[in-house]
Structure 1
């Protein structure tokens, strides 16, 4: 065969720490070149006869796993060469073209490389929320998987089960795990759609994402009235907390991030009309008297481009997302204090207002289709899942109505 591959140490390119890159050297029709595997070791840690890393290497928790990673890279490259030969393409390729083909395929199978590219794409399109979610997931995976790279083939059913055990062993919840798993699944699906990985490797046909029922997050109308009637001076640290919660409830359960980015020009002719950041769906609803009283405090003496609520402080968009993240944490802490002041036993979070709005709408006999539109859901199924459980006190009232009279 006129084409061959060899794992070796590139002794021409020493790094600052004295190590040398482990490379795959390509020989093709009497010409040669190479590309890096991403691994570097000291000369004393490389076995030149066996073409593997010696057990003396201390830069990893498992030398065997690292050698398997190198061998897998070579096997993958060999498979590509064999396929090119079968398709009668190999003999017409220059060594540069062959190297490009091998490195392109090698990178496309890297979960880390592909995810980094998605994060960069999100930032370029100013989808910083997605970028943060993917970055967080990548950090958690790298904390679990100690090798320098992770291929999609390695991210299989067994890997997901081991990651699950790792997550739960840290006293984390199944619902927190589900967030990570859905992100992994989304990345895998994107890789399949762009034909970077074959569908046969997809692990989520076997692995099922698990969740546990969460505590009911909707407030009763009685508790919502407590917040509405709770009087606060505007110098009190809970003044904005109370207003944000009520405004969210009165604006169809508007999310905290959408409230943060809501600008004055979205309020006109007695209506609020804006595009939700998460789904890009347009909301358009009338301003009630109660909502108008809250908004009056925030909209006066502002330009159309100004934000309604004093949540975002900086000009650069990426920094504005960080402002929202920080403000949300403070908001959630203050909601706990507000609940104590109002003698509300339920745990308040930034999402409770949305659930409370949906539940109260249902209890006031508003049709499910209308609630779905108010919440901005794309289907009734989503709304049904959203409202799958009602508070116990409401269920008790329904049961009392069923007594034989």
Structure 2
């Protein structure tokens, strides 16, 4: 008889008090382990339910992996009756011929690779796309058995679910990326590629922006430090004054990002490096927070150490902040619902109204500029030019 269970391997204690989380295969009295990338403390793992405590996303991923391994283990046992070997079983579970690898399991492997590399946001995007698409088409088959006709049928089913062109595009782009990786891993030949003929459709959207007058009302709002929206209000101001900084990047800023009177950081989403002058207004706003390992103190040292849970924590923080900002929007009678991203669009809109060029605005926001010649020109922009524009934009709504 063979079994497969998810356990903490307490034979291998780490210096930080964690143990590796493994899938243990047992055949008779012998066992072998398949490692995962999780390292947990005993109180973080529920042995009764074989699940990580308070981590729905990771548990879903592990459950999918367990189902895959169990299916492979059954196949191995049927094919090797009377000559079962636990080490050979492990090899069978983790290794496959190209025609045996299903789209679903390869997709899961790519999610795990992203998570291991610390790219939790990308892993979540892939996981969401996999969850949605697997409901509408059979991904438990090799790539070679999925055709262009299947792709069009999948798109049709997504439309029937009521998804927009833009929503479908998000999921299909993730699917395309997985297909490209499969080709690069020689799981299928490029001649198979179903996306060669596929056309992505996109609806034009009008960015939500606040007017100068609405931003003035936002900045001049008088909230006391004990008001429930106070910190979210300050964060909104910082997002605007820091040229539309992403809320995740803002929450993770630390003293290490302060250099010679500037805030220098790498955007988590794109990897682009930003250098923004620390103006008096920005400095004053930061001083109203109780800093810890981060400048605004809303992410704890414990949060930073657990990269697996940090993404969920950041998502929750963003939801709370956006809820507060929307309520502040009602207080100032804004026509648009305020979210963290509205400040980025509003910054660009006001810069345009003040007469600044698209190139300079794009440089301030970190956009890639179309032509190589323009790009080279922009690389030579003196920081003072962007700083001057930023200061003028801030003063226009103060």
Normalising by structure 2, we get a TM-score of 0.66
Name the residue aligned to 1:57. Answer: none
What's 1:206 paired with?
197
2:79 is matched with none
Matched, 1:169 2:193: no
Query: Partner of 2:232: helix, strand, or coil?
Result: helix
Q: Who is 2:307 aligned against?
A: 317
Closer, same or farther: CA 280–217 of 1 in aligned 2, 3 Å? same
User: Which residue does the alignment assign to 2:279?
Assistant: 288
Q: Which residues of 2 match residues 55-134 of structure 1 at below 5 A?
A: 103-108=96-101, 110-134=102-126
Structure 2 residues without counterparts, runs of 5 or longer:
5-69, 76-91, 375-398
- CA shift for structure 1 position 241: 1.7
Deviations 1:148-178 (A, max 9, x none): 7133234433223222232232333222211
Q: Give 3-state SS (helix, strand or coil) of 2:321's partner.
A: helix
1:39 CA drift (Å): 10
Structure 1 stretches lacking a partner, 5+ long: 1-11, 16-35, 42-98, 384-405
Query: For the residues of structure 1 that align with 2:225 and 2:254, how far apart are their CA atoms?
Result: 21
Structure 1 residue 189 corresponds to structure 2 residue 180:
yes
SS of residue matched to 1:297: coil
Distance change (3 Å), C-alpha of 1:176 and 1:254: same
1:13 Cα offset (Å): 8.2
Q: Is residue 2:298 matched to residue 1:307?
A: no
2:338 maps to which residue? Answer: 348
**1:157 is aligned to 2:158:** no
Query: Paired residues, what number?
Result: 292
Q: 1:211 to 1:309 in 2, by over 3 A?
A: same
1:335 positional shift: 1.9
- Call closer, same or farther: CA 1:346–1:14 in 2, change over 3 Å: closer
Deviations 1:60-107 (A, max 9, x none): xxxxxxxxxxxxxxxxxxxxxxxxxxxxxxxxxxxxxxx99x932124
In the aligned structure 2, how far is the partner of 1:112 from the partner of 1:148? 5
* Alignment partners' CA distance in 2, 1:154 and 1:340: 53
Equivalents in 2 of 1:205, 1:141: separation in Å?
A: 19
Q: Is the 8 A contact 2:240 2:347 kept in 1?
A: yes
Residues 243 and 156 of structure 1: CA distance in aligned 2, closer, same or farther (over 3 Å): farther
CA contact (8 A) 2:98 2:188 kept: no
> Moved runs in structure 1, 4+ residues, more than 4 A?
12-15, 36-41
1:261, 1:307 within 8 Å by CA — same for their partners in 2?
A: yes
* Structure 2 Cα separation of the partners of residues 37 and 132 of structure 1: 25
Asked whether the equivalents of residues 262 and 277 of structure 2 are also in contact (C-alpha less than 8 Å), the reply is yes
Residue 156 to residue 349, structure 1, CA distance change in 2 (3 Å) = farther
Is 1:335–1:348's contact at 8 Å kept on the other side of the alignment?
yes
Per-residue Cα deviation, 1:275-326 (whole angstroms, up to 9, x for no partner): 111111111011223222211212x6x46xx111233242311212111011
Q: Give CA-to-partner distance per residue, 1:128-167, whole Å, 9 cap, x none.
A: 111111111111122223x471332344332232222322
For residues 167 and 312 of structure 2, what CA distance do their matches in structure 1 show?
Answer: 21
Q: In the superposition, relative to structure 1, how do residues 37 and 340 fare at CA in structure 2: closer, same or farther (>3 Å)?
A: closer
SS in 2 for 1:307: coil
Q: Secondary structure at the match of 1:212?
A: coil
RMSD (Å) for aligned C-alpha atoms: 3.3
Residues 283 and 133 of structure 1: is their aligned pair in 2 closer, same or farther, counting only changes over 3 Å? same
Q: Distance in 2 between matches of 1:307 and 1:13?
A: 49
**Given that residues 361 and 371 in structure 1 are in contact (C-alpha distance below 8 angstroms), is that contact kept between their aligned partners in structure 2?**
yes
Q: CA deviation at 1:205?
A: 2.2
**Which secondary structure state, in structure 1, belongs to the residue aligned with residue 265 of structure 2?**
strand
Q: Is this contact kept in 1: 2:255–2:294, CA < 8 A?
A: yes
1:248 to partner: Cα distance: 0.8
Please tell me whether the aligned partners of residues 257 and 264 of structure 2 are also in contact (alpha carbons under 8 angstroms).
Answer: yes
Give the whole-Å Cα distance in 1 for the aligned partners of 2:105 and 2:2: 23
SS for the counterpart of 2:135 is: helix
Question: Whole-Å Cα distance in 2 between the matches of residues 181 and 115 of structure 1?
Answer: 13
Question: What is the deviation of 1:341?
Answer: 0.6
Equivalent-residue separation in structure 1 for 2:309 and 2:2 (angstroms): 40
